[in-house]
Every structure is written in structure tokens, then in C-alpha cells.
Structure 1
Amino acid sequence: MNYLSVENISKAYGERVLFDSVSFGINKDQKIAFIAKNGSGKTTIMNMINGLDEPDTGQIVMRKDINMAFLSQSNNLQDELTVEENIFASDNEILKVIERYEKALEKPEDEEAYQRAFDDMDRHNAWDFETQFKQILTKLKLEDLKLKVKSMSGGQKKRLSLAIILISKPDLLILDEPTNHLDLEMIEWLEDYFAKENITLFMVTHDRFFLERVCNEIIELDNGKIYQYKGNYSYYLEKKEERLASENSSIDKAQNLFVKELAWMRRQPKARTTKSKSRQDDFYVIKEKAESRRKENVVELEINMERMGSKIIEMVKLHKSFGDNVILDGFTYAFQRGERIGIIGKNGTGKSTFLNILTQTAPPDSGTVTIGETIKIGYYTQSGINPKPGQKVIDIIKEYGEYIPLTKGRIISATQLLERFLFDAKKQYDFVEKLSGGELKRLYLCTVLIQNPNFLILDEPTNDLDIVTLNVLESFLLDFPGCLLVVSHDRYFMDKIVDHLFVFRGQGVIEDFPGNYSDFRSYEDSADVAQKEENKADKKDWKQNNPTGNLTFNEQKEYQKTEKEIKDLEAQKIAIEQLFADGKVADESIAKKANELQNIINKIASKEERWFELSAKMEG
């Protein structure tokens, strides 16, 4: 069944043609990845599909009864509402049923209203739906349902937008970089979710592991034309290589024929016979084919790295905490020449703080960081470029000089350097504010590398970069002779680049794992299997000793109510603890706030005890 058809669409901005006569379709149960270079029209086509832009020619036709949802890079949340209120703002009827049930739980004394809500849950088979949507919120770390959107970080808002879309269960889901702002645990959960669910997907993502595991078709926009591949990322790489080889062979033949036909054209008299006129027309077709060789820009980054001495960077007995959140707890490490280290861990475990301490842009609570005299750090942060108003691309590079030293005593001009970073002569004089997100990241990466670092630190370098640029960056980093420290959620990138990992477990625990990300995942999975088998055996023994039945009607009410109360109390506890950590409690209020905190802790303990009793009875 066809859900959506893109029919002969084109788009141009002035003389710049993005694409022309592009057509493809999206059918039920397809999971399609849309691949293209930055600036070639990916976002434009995504916006057209979602009605946010219109093609110059052609049309996009969607089946009338299809429910489509779009996850964009910007959120469409209502800032004054809470997490819970934004979720229930959906038109989904089952969500309305769950909302009425959740409200009934808050007033257990109104048994008639609770009974109606309970019956509605049964009638709409909403119990499984409720369990699933709570699992989605838990996996995306959105457990404080009373938190207002205006108080959330950008990453939290992105995760809430994703959760709302998943919960609404649309027929067709359009995703623009769904893995941005997710930690590795969340990304892997989302992969499993998409791989198992019968859902139709059309997405833009640079996460090649995600492409490999989730997608069953890839559509590529390349030099304004559409190419379709019926397989995952590995299949796409194989078939694209075959296509390019075939195209280049065809062009080579055309060039040989062009030389012969050009000689013939020059010999012909001005008066043309019908036969010669036909051959003349054919000549121009051959000429166009012969001149169509792909202009593959190769970024050559043979930057002249300064020699490293014997002392690199030493970190000794470092401690760092934010209130109760321990980032470093006596961390000690001496970096060696040529080390290539990846940093992984859940969001909030202190990865960026660690990098800031290493680069001495943030102080530790105690301990020392000593940087060797010959070490020159290049630090690519998530903050990116902050251009001045009216600044052009070429101006950004010229701030570092007109010429950049390369190896073997050669130099390269700022203009030549930009060309190697895929900015053509025209693009170099564009205003920086006109660049796409990926182009801005590429320009920023250029400014870091041209400073000749020998210790390179990259904090999420792959976000917003297209797959072509990622391959180029990987090729450079594989040949980079200095030290490399990378924080990234891109598992494909990490596997190619790093030799060992710093695994941030939280609360100051940092493990040095000897291997790349896939090695680590295999190790963790084998440990998880062993633990699950042990838990399964324990649960079996526990069930045999606890042959209790299901909960009564009143106990079901109590169970749901207690669960909700525990979450509210936990949120209150965290808020007060944060006030103490930030030093925002006035001296005269310390005793009062401390008593309030202790009362909340006591209530949580009491309610958790009752919740466990009811849980045991429910699973018996």
C-alpha cells in the first residue's frame, strides 16, 4: 500500500538548482533512510513532505487516511505545559482514556469516577498501551512528568518530542536525525524498538549503525538525482561502489568517442547533409556525457603537526563534584604518544566536564593537570562557531592567517584550504548565517584542525555531518599521528577510530576498557545474559514461595496511586537537594529545609515498602 508519492519535484534558489524531477514513493512497512550531502536538499525535501515548503514544480501526494508525524530538529512543544500535559495534548483517543484514568487516580475517594475510568481502560484495551508509553518515557529519561517544558534542556525537549511521536503510533513516521541528544543506551533501545515494531519510517540520520540495523531501503540524493537501494547500509555501500564504477566506465568510453567525433566535426564543411546533421546532434550528446565525470572533492588534511615531547598530559588524583553528583573521584592517568581514546557513558555522567578539566577551561575541586610543553591542544566543542554579524566563510578562516603550513615545507592559502573542505569559490563568500547546520560544523572542524594540534579532542564531532564528510573525517583521523580523545554516540565512527575506551559509569567511576565500542558491547551483552539467567532463577524460586493471587480492585487503586506518589516525592527530594548543592538555602532556613527533606525521605521509604508488597502480590 502506497502511503506517499513524491512526483517530479524540483527546487532552485536563483541560479542554484538543488534538484530537478525527483520522484520516489513510501509504502507501508518500509523503513527508508534518506542520504545526501549537506546542502544538497535533504532538509528541503523533508520540509516539503511535511507541508513546510513547496516544490517549484511537481507535487507530493499523500494517502488521505494516513496519520503522519514529523520529528524535526526544532521542537513544537508548549513551553508553559508540563511533560505530562504535552503528551496528553495529542488527539489520540487511547491517550485521552489514559489521561482520565490518571486523573481518577489522584482522587481515589471518587469511586464512581474511578470505576468509569477503569472500565474505559478495559474497553479500549489501554492497559498494554499505558505500560508501553510509560516504558518509552522511562527509556528516554522523562520520569518527572510534572516538569514544565520551559525548564527543560534542549536535549530533554528533543527526547520529549520523540516520546510524543512514538506514543501517538502514527502510520508514517518522518524523522530528522532521531539519535541526536540521545545517549548510547537510548539509541540502542530505539534501534530495537524500530526493528521490532510494524511501523513505516522515512528518516535522515548520519548514524550508520542505526541505518544498518533498522532500515530495509536507502534512497540517496546525489548530484540532484535519486538512486534507490533495496537493502541496509552495507548493501548500499556495495551497490553504490558498483554504480560509480559503471558510470565512470561509461564516461571513459564517451570521452574516447568524443575525441574521434570532435576531429570529425572540425573536418566537416559548413553545409550539412541530413546524415551529418544527425551526427552533429549526437556529438553534443556525447560531449555532455564525456564532461559529466563526478567532481569528487577529496579533503586532503596533511596539516603540519608539531612534534610531541616525552611528556604529554598527566592527570593526578582529580576530584570533581556538583552537589551529590560525583564526576571524578581520585582519577589519575598519564597519556602516551599516539593514544586514541573514546569516551562513552550516559548523559550527565560528566564527559564534557572531564574534557573541560583536561583542557583547563574548568577547574577540578582538587588534583592537578599538567600539560607537556610541546603539546598543542585542538578542542572541538559542542558550542561550535560564534560568527560576527555579516561575517563570510572566508573571513572565519583568515582569522587564523592567510596561509597554513602543510607537511614537507609546503603552504596552502585560506581559499585553497576551504576548497579542500568542500567549500567552493562561490560558497566561500556566503555569509556564515546562510550555512546549513552540517556546513557550520564542517567549517568549525576546519578552524580547529588548521591550528596544527598534536592533541586533538573532539566532543560529538559527528552531529549534523553528512555521511560523505564523516568518511573524509575518519580517513584523516586514521592517519593523524598525534593523540586523539573522542566523545561520540556514533558507534560506527568510534569503532574505526579508537583503540580503547574510558567508560563513565557515573558517581566518579571511570573504567579503562581495552577495545573499541563493538568489543565493549559484546562484553556487556555477555555479562547481561549471565545476570538475566541468575535473576530468572531467583524469580522462579521467589514465585514458588509466594503463591499469592492478583490484586483486588481497591489494591489496584492503591498500587497505581502509590506509584504516582513516589514519583512526586522523588521530584520534591531532588529539587530540595539541588537547592542545597547550589547554596541557595538561606542560613535561617537550613534547619527547616533539612527537616522537610528528611520527612520526604521517610515518606518515600514507607511508600516504597508498601509498593513492593503490592508488586509481589500482583506478580504472584
Structure 2
Amino acid sequence: MAPPILTLDGIVLTFGGTPLLDGAELSASAGDRIALVGRNGSGKSTLLKIAAGLVEPQDGTVFRQPSATIRYLPQAPDMDGFSNVRAYVEAGLGPADDAYRATYLLEHLGLTGEEKPETLSGGEARRAALARVMAPEPDILLLDEPTNHLDLSVIEWLEEELVRSSSALVVISHDRRFLERVSRSTVWLDRGHTRRLEKGFAHFEEWRDTVLEEEEREQHKLGRQIVREEHWLRYGVTARRKRNMRRLGELQAMRQRFRGHQGAEGVAKMAASDAADSGKLVIEAKSISKSFGDLTVVKDFSTRIQRGDRIGLVGPNGAGKTTLLKMLTGELEPDAGTVRLGVNLEIATLDQKRTAVDPEETLAHFLTDGRGETLVVNGEERHVVAYMKDFLFKPDSARTPVRELSGGERARLILARVLSRPANLLVLDEPTNDLDMETLELLQELVAGFPGTVLLVSHDRDFLDRTATSVIVPDGDGRWIEYAGGYSDMLAQRGVGKLEDRKAAKAAESSPKVAATQPKASAKKLSFKQKFALESLPGRMEAVSTSISALENQLADPSFYDKNPASFAKTIAALEKERQTLASMEEEWLELEMLREELEG
């Protein structure tokens, strides 16, 4: 097994009160792909900053290999002092680094390099920061929410680039599918401590639930043991004084351990405030169009949205999703066509910029709009502190200024305010940004079960698949098309599977006349070899999957490395080889299946 490039051991950091980090650990070696997960405010970003050398811990040790290069992607990159994006990106290169790498990354991230830092949007700034940290091809990449503000095509490209990269990776992200794709191990930061699972994020939630259940059983056993010891002290036969004092000391230690135990963090209670039902027809748009100068954003688009529909708007940044959303809700007049809104509409909006929030405003003042200590939710008057608890804010944080919140906590606060307003139409523009996994799960349940109507703009593929009843996507030249189902359903209906196929489809869309003149495939049916491969591949894939599971189970044994380091390294190599074999088989099967469907018409 390769020696660690980076090691954090026994890290302690306190900002008054309960320690944020209390003995946290993190270790990364060459080839590691680590997902760092935990609740909003649990200290994930702080731990990453400590790893990058930007924050000093109060206790613990930090080791970085002297020759190793480490690059850190912050949530808010600082570009002050740079004339353009290219200068900012190239400043991250070392003397021996390839300058062409910066050009390659800028092109694939949709930037020319001539953009001025002060004019960049949030998505453009994030892409520039990604180019800067990836250009040197460092030994370790530390990425804090790399997918925020990125459109789907860039997220998918970034996945492929990171999978191919030789850099070790530690990443914080709310995007489930992204984490499942790029991670091979998971570090869970919980109540100041870290636990490590030598499996990717896809296995995290099952493991986390098992750990919490075992912790609850141990705490229950400790409580029963305390009861038994107290009974012995009161009613047991008097033994030697020395023995009694020993047991009394043990009892005091058990009591202290029992009282000091911090239970698992609570679960947010998220519910939208109900309004009276809207009419059956919520929105009807007929042949609407919108242009800004020579740029046509929406052209001749029609749709009919009914009560209970959950519509996802998908597309690259700048395609016009927010413009189309504003036209559908009546906030923006179309240049041509008509939009008719249904009756009894009560709209609650979460905008992309998260509403302007005064950083000096307290949490309680923000939630109540300064109207005292109470607010009305679902027709019931509630104290603001009780409502804050539903969203996992502690009672003593009611007077805390908004500026002291983490990005995820601020997102949760604004969501609490939006959901307190009575609504039968939810308009959510990028609602998943900065939310932790548990809060994201609850938001998914809320949107999927909302009795009214939802209009949703998101780049989160998993969220769209779990919530949307249909998605609207751009088709070039201002045209938009609506597909039934979620994001994956849309891809299937467009006949597009892999990233390479999507690029080919996009190229074909941009030149339809050329595509129309292409001759049809001359083959009328699959060859014998192709047919045999199509029939045999599922069984072979299942066998490889079984082998992968067996290898992962071996690596899950915490004592495996200590017992036999050489065997541990061989097992990791075998696992990687099997994963690559499975990925190759899946790609081959998908290509053959798509070919079969095409030939059969």
C-alpha cells in the first residue's frame, strides 16, 4: 500500500462551546478517491482548509509529504489582482508544469481566458477556479463543492476528467451521482469525529445507518449497566471498602460517559405551508418567445401545466432556464405568445441568488420579517425558536447574525423562510445548492409529495430523477422540448446514453441538414458475434459484480491491512481491475443494446 501523502491525526478545533473538530483524522495516499461527507456546519470545509494549510488546528498533527503538490478549491475563489481569467489560472502553475494544460482546461470548461474576473457569473468563477487547481495535475486535489453553479454538461465532463486523473482526490459535494461516480472511499465527519469506509459513496448511507443503530444499542446497554451498578451500591452485600470504592469510581465514569454522549444529530422536519388548492389548470403558455437583442432565448414554446405537476427545467448556464421560468410565472412578459395563469395561485419562490440577506440580520429577525417572536405556519402561530428547531438550528442561535452561518446552514435558513409562506405553487431555482445529504433527502420527499405544483430548475440529476414528472430542455436556437419523467427518462427518450453519445447528439442537433443526409446503417441485423455478446454479457457482468462485492468485503475488515499489508495491496489492485472490467462490459452491452433497438426500428 502506498504511503500517505497527507495525514491529519487527532485534529482539534473549537470556536467556543462544543468542539467543531474533536480528534478528527484524514489520510490520503496516491490513487485515493475520498468523499468527505457530513451535516452542514459539521466542519467539513474547515477540515479541508486544515489539510490545505489555510487553518491551523488547536491540537493534533498535520503531515504533508515535502515533495507533494496540493491544490485546494474553495467555495468562493478570490481573483483580486488578476487582469483576466487566464492570468488567474496560469498563476497556479509551477515552473515545471505544462502551460498548455491551462488552455486545454479553459476550452473544455467553456472559457476563453480573456474574461475579466469582476464580470464573471458564479458558474464562470467556479469553472475558472477548477481550471486553476487542476492545471498543475497535483498529487492531491482538495475540492469543496466543485459542482456548485455548474451545468450538467460541465459536471459530466468533470466526472470523466477526475476519474482519469492521476491525482488523489478529497471532495465535498451535495451531488449524489457525482460522489458515486468519483469516490472509492468515504470519510464521515460526525460530531467532531471521523469514521472511514473503504467503499465509495454509493455504500455510505447503509453503513451510516448501521453505525448509528449500533451506537444506540451500546448507549442503551450502558444505561442498563448503570442501573445495575446503582442497585448493587444501594442494596448489595457490603464488600471490602477498597472494592466498593473501585466500583463507585467505575460507576461515576460510566455516568459521565453516558451524560457526555452526543446523540446523532436530529432530522429536520420539513413541510411546506398549505394554501387553498389552485385551479386544475395552473399555467398555459401558447407559442411564447423571448429575445435579448440578436439572442433568441425562447422560441415558439407551448406547454400546459396542471395541478400536481412537478416540472424540471434543465440546460446549460445561459440557456435561458430562469428567463423561461419567469415567463411561465408571469414575472416577465414574452415578446410574442401568451401565458395564462390559473386561479387561486399562491406562489412561494426560492431564487437562485437565495434572496438578498443582510449578513448582520439575526436568524429570528430574518424568519419573522422583524414581526416579533412568532410566525404563522399552516395557519398555526409558532414561536420562532420552535420553528428553527424543525430545521436543526439550536435555540441559542436565534440571535446569531446570518454572517456566522456556513453556506449549507444559510441555504437551510432561506428554505425555512420560503416554506413558512402559504403556497400551492413552489418555484425552486437551484434549491439543492449547499444542502447536506439528509436535508436534501427531506427536500426530495417534500417536493415529491407536495399536493400543489412545482417548477424546479436544477443541475442535480438524482434530484430530478426522484422528483420531476416531466423535464423541459433546450434543443438549440431557442427551442425547448418537454419530456415525460426525470432526467434519465429524458436521456432515454432522446436515445442518448453515454457522455460521448450526448456530445455526438449535440453536434448533430447543431447541424440538422448534415445529419439528415447521412445514409442509414447498411446492417440489417446483428452479427452472430454481436448477438452472442449481447446475450452473454449480463451473466458475465453479474459474475464480475459478485467478485467486486467479495473484494470490497475483504477490504472492509479494519484489521486486514495490519494482518497482511502485501495481500491488502494486491486486493486493492484486483478490485480496481475488476471495476474497470465491469465498466468496459457495461459500455459494450449498452452500445450493442442501442444498436439492436435501432436495427429493430
Give the TM-score of the pair, scaled to structure 1.
Answer: 0.75
- C-alpha distance in structure 2 between counterparts of 1:389 and 1:197, whole Å: 39
- C-alpha distance in structure 1 between counterparts of 2:453 and 2:224, whole Å: 48
Task: Please tell me the residue identity of whatever aligns with 2:470.
Answer: H
| Residue number in structure 2 paired with 1:49 | 51
| Residue number in structure 2 paired with 1:603 | none
Does the aligned pair in 2 maintain the 1:79–1:148 contact within 8 Å? Answer: no
| Residue number in structure 2 paired with 1:299 | 268
Quote the offset at 1:155 in angstroms. Answer: 2.2
Deviations 1:532-570 (A, max 9, x none): 69999989x9xxxxxxxxxxxxxxxxxxxxxxxxxxxxx
Quote the offset at 1:46 in angstroms. Answer: 1.5
Q: How does 1:527-538 map to 2 (within 5 A)?
A: 529=501
Distance 1:150 1:290, change over 3 A: closer
Does the aligned pair in 2 maintain the 1:342–1:487 contact within 8 Å? Answer: yes
Which secondary structure does the structure 1 equivalent of 2:465 belong to?
Answer: helix
- C-alpha distance in structure 1 between counterparts of 2:300 and 2:123, whole Å: 29
| Residue number in structure 1 paired with 2:496 | 525
Quote the offset at 1:69 in angstroms. Answer: 1.0
- C-alpha distance in structure 1 between counterparts of 2:423 and 2:164, whole Å: 45
| Residue number in structure 2 paired with 1:283 | 251
Q: How does 1:568-587 map to 2 (within 5 A)?
A: none
Quote the offset at 1:270 in angstroms. Answer: 11
Which secondary structure does the structure 2 equivalent of 1:39 belong to?
Answer: coil
- C-alpha distance in structure 1 between counterparts of 2:359 and 2:471, whole Å: 40
| Residue number in structure 2 paired with 1:243 | 211
Task: Please tell me the residue identity of whatever aligns with 1:145.
Answer: G
- C-alpha distance in structure 2 between counterparts of 1:135 and 1:323, whole Å: 31
Quote the offset at 1:415 in angstroms. Answer: 1.8
- C-alpha distance in structure 1 between counterparts of 2:427 and 2:496, whole Å: 29
| Residue number in structure 1 paired with 2:333 | 363
**RMSD value, Cα:** 2.9
Which secondary structure does the structure 2 equivalent of 1:16 belong to?
Answer: coil
- C-alpha distance in structure 2 between counterparts of 1:146 and 1:153, whole Å: 14
- Is 1:7 matched with 2:3? no
| Residue number in structure 2 paired with 1:207 | 175
- C-alpha distance in structure 1 between counterparts of 2:87 and 2:488, whole Å: 39
Distance 1:531 1:283, change over 3 A: closer
Distance 1:91 1:443, change over 3 A: closer
Distance 1:288 1:480, change over 3 A: farther
Q: How does 1:213-252 map to 2 (within 5 A)?
A: 213-252=181-220
Does the aligned pair in 1 maintain the 2:469–2:484 contact within 8 Å? Answer: yes
Does the aligned pair in 2 maintain the 1:38–1:439 contact within 8 Å? Answer: yes
| Residue number in structure 2 paired with 1:171 | 139
- Is 1:396 matched with 2:366? yes
Q: How does 1:363-442 map to 2 (within 5 A)?
A: 363-388=333-358, 390-399=360-369, 403-404=374-375, 411-442=381-412
Q: Which ranges of structure 1 fall in alignment gaps of 5 or more residues?
A: 99-129, 542-620
| Residue number in structure 2 paired with 1:449 | 419
* Identical aligned residues as a percent: 31
Q: How does 1:127-142 map to 2 (within 5 A)?
A: 130=100, 134-142=103-111
Distance 1:260 1:94, change over 3 A: closer
Distance 1:296 1:7, change over 3 A: closer
Deviations 1:328-364 (A, max 9, x none): 2122222111101111111111001112223333332
Deviations 1:55-90 (A, max 9, x none): 111121100000111111222435542333334334
Quote the offset at 1:526 in angstroms. Answer: 4.4
Task: Please tell me the residue identity of whatever aligns with 2:88.
Answer: N
Distance 1:309 1:288, change over 3 A: farther
- C-alpha distance in structure 2 between counterparts of 1:451 and 1:150, whole Å: 35
Which secondary structure does the structure 2 equivalent of 1:320 belong to?
Answer: strand
Q: How does 1:24-39 map to 2 (within 5 A)?
A: 24-39=26-41
Q: Which ranges of structure 2 fall in alignment gaps of 5 or more residues?
A: 509-513, 522-601
Task: Please tell me the residue identity of whatever aligns with 1:257.
Answer: Q
Quote the offset at 1:258 in angstroms. Answer: 2.8
Which secondary structure does the structure 2 equivalent of 1:22 belong to?
Answer: strand
* Number of residues of Structure 1 aligned to a counterpart in Structure 2: 505
Does the aligned pair in 2 maintain the 1:251–1:293 contact within 8 Å? Answer: no
Determine which structure has more spread, i.e. the larger CA radius of gyration.
1
Which secondary structure does the structure 2 equivalent of 1:345 belong to?
Answer: coil
Deviations 1:245-301 (A, max 9, x none): 211122222222333333344557999822222222222343345453625423223
- C-alpha distance in structure 2 between counterparts of 1:281 and 1:68, whole Å: 48
Quote the offset at 1:314 in angstroms. Answer: 2.2
- C-alpha distance in structure 1 between counterparts of 2:495 and 2:110, whole Å: 21
- C-alpha distance in structure 1 between counterparts of 2:180 and 2:54, whole Å: 29
Distance 1:260 1:447, change over 3 A: same
- C-alpha distance in structure 2 between counterparts of 1:279 and 1:417, whole Å: 45
Does the aligned pair in 2 maintain the 1:80–1:150 contact within 8 Å? Answer: no
- C-alpha distance in structure 2 between counterparts of 1:279 and 1:234, whole Å: 45
| Residue number in structure 2 paired with 1:16 | 18
Q: 123, 128, 147: which is aligned to 2:115? A: 147
Quote the offset at 1:235 in angstroms. Answer: 1.3
Quote the offset at 1:424 in angstroms. Answer: 1.1
Q: After alignment, is 331-340 or 81-90 more displaced?
A: 81-90
Distance 1:243 1:530, change over 3 A: closer
Distance 1:265 1:495, change over 3 A: farther
Q: After alignment, is 282-291 or 68-77 more displaced?
A: 282-291
Distance 1:221 1:310, change over 3 A: same
Does the aligned pair in 2 maintain the 1:326–1:506 contact within 8 Å? Answer: no
- C-alpha distance in structure 1 between counterparts of 2:503 and 2:190, whole Å: 47
Q: After alignment, is 9-18 or 294-303 more displaced?
A: 294-303
- C-alpha distance in structure 2 between counterparts of 1:259 and 1:297, whole Å: 26
Q: 159, 171, 194: which is aligned to 2:127? A: 159
Which secondary structure does the structure 1 equivalent of 2:284 belong to?
Answer: strand
Distance 1:388 1:186, change over 3 A: closer
